Amino acid sequence: MGSTSDKIKGTANEAIGKAKQGIGEATGSDRLQGEGAVQEVKGKGQKAMGDAKDAAKDAIDRAAAAARRAAE
């Protein structure tokens, strides 16, 4: 999975998780609140994974550019 899809899925899971928590609070459903909290954390993890993939790609690109410059 690419970094963009990780970030999109993460954002969606965060939003759905927050919504579930809100509905759970409004209806008094501890189960729904718990599911929402878990889904929100999952989303944050997915977004962090996307950010890490971007950072790794940027580091690799910078290292490759430096290697090309050194070879010239």
pLDDT digits (tens, 9 = 90+) for 16-34: 999 999 999 999 999 999 9
For residue 21, which of 35, 6, 41, 5 has the smallest C-alpha distance? 35
As a whole number, the mean pLDDT across the chain is 95
Residue 11: what pLDDT?
96
What global pTM score does this model have?
A: 0.79
Beta strand spans in the chain (E): none
Going from the C-alpha of 44 to that of each of 3, 25, 35, 67, 69, the distances in angstroms are 13, 21, 14, 35, 38
Residue 33: what pLDDT?
97
- The answer to whether residue 55 scores a pLDDT higher than 80 is yes
Share of the chain above pLDDT 90, in %: 93
Angle subtended at Cα 38 by Cα 24 and Cα 11, rounded to the nearest 5 degrees? 95
